[in-house]
Chains A and B, each alone.
Chain A
């Protein structure tokens, strides 16, 4: 149980492109979903927290106009990186939990901006 699916797993695109990443909880209703990014050899950095039907809560220093988060249902959240640039290249990982249960992570999306 507690499977989180993330798509796509790998994206390579040109600078200035917008990229959408999907995160789905497959066998449970996710009360909350989280978006992280991780640079090589560093720990996870929380970008934002989203609850279904509410605006996402962004961590300090994360540009909300740059990283658009939509949590349309209890099983789907999307992260759109708008007008991506090479410095946005990173490993983006979503996670989800139901109420007080542990967070379970998707497989991650490796984003490379040329």
Chain B
């Protein structure tokens, strides 16, 4: 069983719509959760970080965390073609893991005009 699993893609949404990306994780000791965006041929770029249950909003992006359900999601409102990329969910355990991240397999998002 994968430790971090993202909803299978690819995901295609029209411009202006809401894109919803989901992620579940298996380690209940996980304490920090991140969403990265990766354009083709480029390295990942941090979009959002979330540490406590609930919603966190930053511009058009909203991250949602539910530790009881071991679930984290990313909503992108008013999706733009420039949002087309692979979105990586990453989870960091607590303790002495030295900040090591476990990544999901990624969800490819395409926003079409």
B105 within 8 Å of A (CB atoms): yes
Q: Are B98 and A93 within 8 A (Cβ)?
A: no
* CB neighbors of B among A84-114 (8 A): 93, 97, 100, 102-108
A60 within 8 Å of B (CB atoms): no
Please tell me which one of the listed residues B34, B45, B46, B88 contacts residue A44 in the complex, with CB atoms under 8 A apart: B88
Q: Which residue of B is nearest A44, CB measured? A: B103
Distance A6 CA – B106 CA, assembled complex (angstroms):
23
Distance A51 CA – B34 CA, assembled complex (angstroms):
22
Using a Cβ cutoff of 8 Å, how many contacts connect chains A and B? Answer: 47
* CB neighbors of A among B1-52 (8 A): 32, 34, 36, 42-46, 49
Distance A57 CA – B49 CA, assembled complex (angstroms):
25
Q: Mark A33-53 against chain B: 1 for CB-CB distance below 8 A, else 0.
A: 010000000011010010100
Q: Are B99 and A97 within 8 A (Cβ)?
A: yes
Interface residues on B, range: 10 to 19
Q: Are A32 and B98 within 8 A (Cβ)?
A: yes
Q: Are A44 and B44 within 8 A (Cβ)?
A: yes
Q: Which residues of A contact B100 (CB under 8 A)?
A: 34, 46, 49
Q: Mark B94-107 against chain A: 1 for CB-CB distance below 8 A, else 0.
A: 00001111011110
Q: Are B98 and A57 within 8 A (Cβ)?
A: yes
Q: Are B46 and A102 within 8 A (Cβ)?
A: yes
Q: Are A102 and B88 within 8 A (Cβ)?
A: no
Q: Are B88 and A108 within 8 A (Cβ)?
A: no
Q: Which residues of A contact B49 (CB under 8 A)?
A: 102
Distance A49 CA – B23 CA, assembled complex (angstroms):
24
Q: Are B101 and A103 within 8 A (Cβ)?
A: yes
Q: Which residue of B is nearest A108, CB measured? A: B43
Distance A105 CA – B104 CA, assembled complex (angstroms):
17
Can you spell out 5 A-B residue pairs with CB atoms less than 8 angstroms apart? A44-B103, A46-B100, A49-B98, A93-B44, A105-B45
Q: Which residues of A contact B (CB under 8 A)?
A: 6, 31-32, 34, 43-44, 46, 49, 51, 57, 93, 97, 100, 102-108
Pairs of residues from A and B, 4 with the lowest C-beta to C-beta distance, nearest first: A108-B43, A105-B43, A93-B43, A102-B49
